[in-house]
Amino acid sequence: MDIMFKSTRGDRAKVTASQAIVKGIAEDGGLYVPESIPKIDFSLEDMLSFGYRELAYRVLRLVLTDYTEDELKYCINSAYDSKFDTSAIAPVAMAGNDNFLELFHGRTIAFKDMALSILPYLLKTAAKKNGVDEEIVILTATSGDTGKAALEGFAGVEGTQIIVFFPEDGVSAVQKAQMVTQTGKNTCVVGIKGNFDDAQTAVKKIFTDNELKAELKKRGYVFSSANSINIGRLAPQIVYYFYAYAQLVNSEKIKAGDKVNFTVPTGNFGDILAGYYAREMGLPVNKLICASNDNKVLYDFFKTGEYTIKDREFIVTVSPSMDILISSNLERLLYHESHSEEKTKAMMTSLGADGSYKFVIDDGFAGEYATVAETFEAIRYTFDKTHYVMDTHTAVAKASYDKYIAETGDKTPNVIVSTASPYKFAKDVLKAIDSEKYADIEPFEALYELEKVSGTPIPEPIKGIEKREILHKTVIERGELKKFVENKLR
Ligand SMILES: *Cc1c(COP(=O)(O)O)cnc(C)c1O
C-alpha cells in the first residue's frame, strides 16, 4: 500500500512521495508529512549484515513507496558510491567512551552530503514519473554548507540547473572557496551584498511569485528546493540511524534490541527529526538529545514547552550551521505529536504573529545546549584525552551530552552524531586546542597545521583549494535576485 503525504497545515490534497519531492512544500505553506509512519519489515538481526546501500533500499522503499525497486536502487547506487572516502559511507568512530557517527565522508565534508548526494536522483526520477518536462531550477540561499553540498549534488545532473546565493561577507574562507571554484556547466554561484536572511527572504519570494513562475514555465523552467523542508532530503537521513545501531551491535557494544540514545547537533531540526522517524519505524531509541549552541531556542522549548523568538538576538557562534532561530522541521514533529493539522496551523500562525507558541513534548526528547566556551572546551579535552579531533558542531553535541549525563546519570549507550569534518572549521578547531598559539592563524594555513596536529590527512575535496581557479565572480546587490534569475533563465 502506498504511503501518501499531506500538509502539516490542513490542505487536504494527498500526494505521493515523488510528487511531494517535486513540489518541495505544500500549497498552504505547510510541510509534507507521511499520513502514517511505516514500520520496518526486517529484523534488527537481519540488518546486521546489510551494507549501507542495502539498508538504504530497505528503509527508503517503506517511505518512498511510489518509486519502483529499479528506480530506488538506481538513485541509491548513484549516490552512495566512491564519492564517499570510505566504503562504510557513515562509519561509527570510537574515542574514549564516546561513539561518533561520522556523516562527513562525502564530497563537501559535511553531513548535508548524506541527503544531497541522493536528492538530485530522487528529484529527476520524480520529474520523469510525474511528466514534468521542464528543466528543474534549484534555487538555494545558503549560509555555507547547504550551498556547496547542493552544488556538488546537482553539478552535471541532466535536466537540472542550480543557482546558489550566499552572503559575500558571511561565510568562512573555506566555505567560500568551495563554492566559487565549483565546476559544472549547470552551476551558478552568486555573492550577495547582504546577509543570509536577505538572500533567504529573496529566494522565498521568488518561490511564491506566481507571475514569474508562469513566465519561466513558458520558457521551459520550474523551480524546486534543496532545503530540508523537502521530504526528499529528510527520508535518506533516516537510514544512518539504523546503520549506526547495526555498527554498535556488530562491535558488541550493545545487543540487538537494546535501547540507545542519539545526541544530535541541531539547527533546522532535520537531522534529529530523521532520528524520530527511525524510532517510530521501530529502531530501539530511548532519548533523542537535541543539542543547540547559544541560539538555544530549542533547548528552551524542550525545557519549558514554549517556543519563542521574542526578545531573542541572533547570535553568531563558531557553529554557524546551527545559528538559526526558526527551526523549520520542528513543525513536522508538532504535527505528529499533536495529531492535528488545526493545532499545528494555529501554532505556526502564532509564531508568525506573536513570535511564540506553546506545546509540551512529553517524552523521548531532551534539550541541552553549549556555549562557545563550552564548545571549545569539549574539543580540547577530548583531543587531550583521546587525540580525536572533532569539528565545532560535533563539539556542541559532545558538550551537551556531557551536561546531560551530569544532570541525569542516564546509562543508556549513546551515539554522538558528527556533522562536519574538523577541516571545514580548521581555524576554530585549532584555536580550541591551543588558543595562544593559533590566535592569528590564516584560514588556509590552518588546514596544513591541523594535518600535523591531528595526524589525519587533509580530505581530498579541499586539498589545495586555495589554489583552484575561481570560476564564479558575480556579486549583486541584495535587491537584485529576481532580476538576476529572470535574466539568467533566458
Ligand atoms: C546543517 C548542519 C547542522 C544542523 O542540521 P539540521 O538538520 O539543520 O538540524 C549541524 N551541523 C552541520 C555541520 C550542518 O551543516
Structural contact between residues 160 and 120, judged by C-beta atoms closer than 8 angstroms: yes
| Residue 188 placed within a domain | no
Q: How far apart are CA 427 and CA 98, in angstroms?
A: 24
Say if strands 414-418 and 260-265 run parallel, antiparallel, or are unpaired. Answer: parallel
| Residue 131 placed within a domain | no
**Number of Cβ within a 10 Å radius of residue 257:** 10
How many domains does the chain fold into? 1
What's the gap in Å between 291 CA and the centre of ligand 1? Answer: 11
Q: Could you identify the atom of ligand 1 that is nearest to the CA of residue 237?
A: 7
The string of pLDDT tens digits covering residues 70-79 is 999 999 999 9
DSSP string, 222-265: EEE--STTSHHHHHHHHHHHHHHHHHHHHTTSS-TT--EEEEEE
At 171 the pLDDT is 83
Using alpha carbons only, what angle is made at residue 457 by residues 381 and 266, rounded to the nearest 5 degrees?
Answer: 50
* Residue 63 β-bridge partners: none
* Residue 223 β-bridge partners: 137
What's the gap in Å between 265 CA and the centre of ligand 1? Answer: 7
C-alpha distances out from residue 25 to 22, 364, 444, Å? 9, 27, 38
Evaluate if residue 136 carries a pLDDT over 80: yes
What's the gap in Å between 92 CA and the centre of ligand 1? Answer: 18
What's the gap in Å between 130 CA and the centre of ligand 1? Answer: 31
CATH of the domain at 405: 3.40.50.1100
Evaluate if residue 169 carries a pLDDT over 90: no
Residue nearest (by alpha carbon) to ligand 1 atom 8: 268
**Number of Cβ within a 10 Å radius of residue 28:** 14
**Number of Cβ within a 10 Å radius of residue 436:** 6
What's the gap in Å between 323 CA and the centre of ligand 1? Answer: 9
| Residue 373 placed within a domain | yes
| Residue 307 placed within a domain | yes
Q: Could you identify the atom of ligand 1 that is nearest to the CA of residue 228?
A: 7
Average pLDDT over residues 285-310: 97
Evaluate if residue 197 carries a pLDDT over 80: no
Residue nearest (by alpha carbon) to ligand 1 atom 1: 321
At 198 the pLDDT is 81
* Residue 332 β-bridge partners: none
- Which element (helix H / strand E) includes 69? helix 69-79
Q: How far apart are CA 193 and CA 483, in angstroms?
A: 15
Rg (alpha carbons) of the chain, rounded to whole number: 21
Least confidently predicted of 21-30, 291-300, 334-343, 472-481: 21-30
More confident residue, 168 or 343: 343
Evaluate if residue 141 carries a pLDDT over 90: no
At 143 the pLDDT is 77
| pTM as predicted | 0.95
Structural contact between residues 427 and 446, judged by C-beta atoms closer than 8 angstroms: yes
Task: Identify the band that residue 284 occupies on the pLDDT scale cut at 50, 70 and 90.
Answer: very high
- For a mutational test of ligand 1's pocket, the pick from 272, 295, 419, i.e. the residue with the most ligand atoms closer than 8 A to its C-beta, is 419
Evaluate if residue 196 carries a pLDDT over 80: no
At 106 the pLDDT is 96
Task: Identify the band that residue 475 occupies on the pLDDT scale cut at 50, 70 and 90.
Answer: very high
| Residue 374 placed within a domain | yes
Domain membership of residue 275 as a residue range: 92-108+232-457
Evaluate if residue 401 carries a pLDDT over 90: yes
Task: Identify the band that residue 144 occupies on the pLDDT scale cut at 50, 70 and 90.
Answer: confident
The torsion of the CA quartet 274, 275, 277, 283, rounded to 10 degrees, works out to 140
| Residue 338 placed within a domain | yes
At 202 the pLDDT is 86
Residue nearest (by alpha carbon) to ligand 1 atom 14: 321
- Who lines ligand 1 at CB under 6 A? 110-112, 145, 228, 265-271, 321-322, 393, 419-420
Nine cell digits for residue 150: 547542493
The mean pLDDT value of the chain amounts to: 94
DSSP string, 334-346: HHHHHT-HHHHHH
Q: How far apart are CA 129 and CA 110, in angstroms?
A: 31
Evaluate if residue 248 carries a pLDDT over 90: yes
Structural contact between residues 246 and 48, judged by C-beta atoms closer than 8 angstroms: yes
Print burial letters for 354-392: b (CB count within 10 Å at least 16), e (below 16).
eebbebebeeebbbbbbebebbbbbbbebbeeeebbbbb
Q: How far apart are CA 337 and CA 343, in angstroms?
A: 10
Instruction: Give 184's DSSP letter.
Output: -
Nine cell digits for residue 116: 544531497
Q: Could you identify the atom of ligand 1 that is nearest to the CA of residue 145?
A: 15
3-class DSSP assignment, residue 371:
coil
* Dmax (CA) of the chain: 61
Q: Mark out the alpha helices in 109-195 (DSSP H runs).
A: 112-116, 119-129, 145-154, 173-180
Average pLDDT over residues 34-62: 97
| Residue 442 placed within a domain | yes
Average pLDDT over residues 34-38: 96
More confident residue, 415 or 321: 415
What's the gap in Å between 321 CA and the centre of ligand 1? Answer: 5
User: What percent of the chain stands above pLDDT 70?
Assistant: 100
| Residue 55 placed within a domain | no
Q: How far apart are CA 269 and CA 320, in angstroms?
A: 15
What's the gap in Å between 418 CA and the centre of ligand 1? Answer: 10
The string of pLDDT tens digits covering residues 86-104 is 999 999 999 999 999 999 9
